[in-house]
Amino acid sequence: MTTTAPHSTPKVSYSDLIRLFLKLSLTAFGGPVAHIAMGEDEIVTRRKWMTREGYLDLVAATNLIPGPNSTEVMIHVGYVTRGIPGALVAGACFIGPAFLLTLILAILYVSSGQIPQVEALLWGIKPVIVAIIAQAGYRLGITALKNWPLWVLFGVAMALVVFTDVPEVLVMLGAGVVYGLYVLGLGGAVASVGAFLNPHPLSLSLRTRGEDSFVHMPAISPAWVQAAATVPPSLWDIFFYFLKIGSVLFGSGYVLISYIQQDVVNGFGWLTGQQLLDAVAIGQLTPGPVSTTVAVVGYIVAGLPGALVATIGIFLPSFVLVILTAPLIPKMRQSKFLGGFLEGVNAGVIAAIAITLVELTNAALKTLDGGGWSPVAIGLAVVALVLLIRYKVNASWLIVLGGVVGVAAAVGFA
């Protein structure tokens, strides 16, 4: 078992952190798994700020605490490199530009009633995102799946996520516990994975890996808000609601769709169903954290102050939780059981990435009108993968290339 700690990093300046996370905020399209893949390329491969094992441990840790995964990974990297100030800088730089772009689109939407049409741009970017995730998934998988028991856990985790309603967080926790017991030498630990990961039926279903995913959860509707559903919410109402969401939200930002549908639309009456669909679409159109979608909700409900307090509320728990838990990760590696636990969780993480890659590939390689697979999109994905692997081209430039190809395809040049 590796004992590499994520704190084994070279000296990183604040300006380095600012440049990288501003760049990622403006170019990281494609959702949480794509963000983590781009972060692996920039942080591990290019800048060598940490080892791939250390980066994987951070990804595993963020899957075990509430909050948007990819944002918490970036906050973790800031903490590892520059402590608490670094965590604040990295998180703010990753969230800030994406928030501003989302806010601009929200303002245009509220003033005109329409969403700016940039579907062609995104159509060209999606195949590149598939290539980025494929490359990062392969590299992380080689690091994480280093023996046959971990490969077994990987396969079981994939089967559970695909064929059952067991939440991903429980699958990852179960894989961690089973492998932790295995490395301690307790007989039959691997064979117990099925029983361990078969909890009592839950209404919670975290199927959040693809763009078209939807989830079903019990609404967490505070009675005092429901009682005042017909009264315009105050800024405190908006802040407190999204603060609670950020404190219990497991998985990616896509889980927000279910919460907002059940609470903000059906329970509180703050938005109509169409406004929710438009808010989610705007969140998909912008790079950076998907959770900046709440800025659109806040702006529709209460203007610029509403957008600000909603965004602060949803992300504040992530900063607190990462800063509290980050010092524990190196100590976990010093324990045989907890080190094995992290490695088991990593196997579950790789399973989630693999499933995401399959689902996104099916969605990303279709024609502009959503019909069959597009030769242009397939070619773009293949070219991007070759450029990433053979020539080590920066993923940000490939995203720009994809956007250009998408626009060209829309006007008939491809």
What are the tens digits of pLDDT across the range 319-328? 999 999 999 8
Closest CA to 154 of 340, 349, 338, 333: 349
Between residues 373 and 91, which one has the greater pLDDT?
A: 91
- Give the domain ranges of the chain: 1-414
Distance CA 168, CA 175 (A): 11
Q: Average pLDDT in the 263-280 region?
A: 83
Between residues 48 and 194, which one has the greater pLDDT?
A: 48
Distance CA 151, CA 297 (A): 42
Closest CA to 94 of 238, 253, 251, 226: 253
Q: How does the average pLDDT of the chain come out, rounded?
A: 81
Between residues 11 and 94, which one has the greater pLDDT?
A: 94
> pLDDT value at position 92?
96
Distance CA 47, CA 24 (A): 14
Report whether pLDDT(186) > 60: no
Contact 208, 182 (CB under 8 A): no
Q: Give the predicted TM-score (pTM) of the model.
A: 0.79
Q: Average pLDDT in the 207-228 region?
A: 37
> pLDDT value at position 252?
54
**159 class by beta-carbon count within 10 Å (0-12 exposed, 13-18 middle, 19+ buried):** middle
> pLDDT value at position 242?
92
List b or e across 14-47, with b for residues whose CB sees 16 or more CB atoms inside 10 angstroms.
eebbeebbebbbbbbbbbbbbbbbbbbbbbbbee
> pLDDT value at position 85?
96
Maximum mean pLDDT: which of 203-207, 279-283, 295-299, 359-363: 295-299
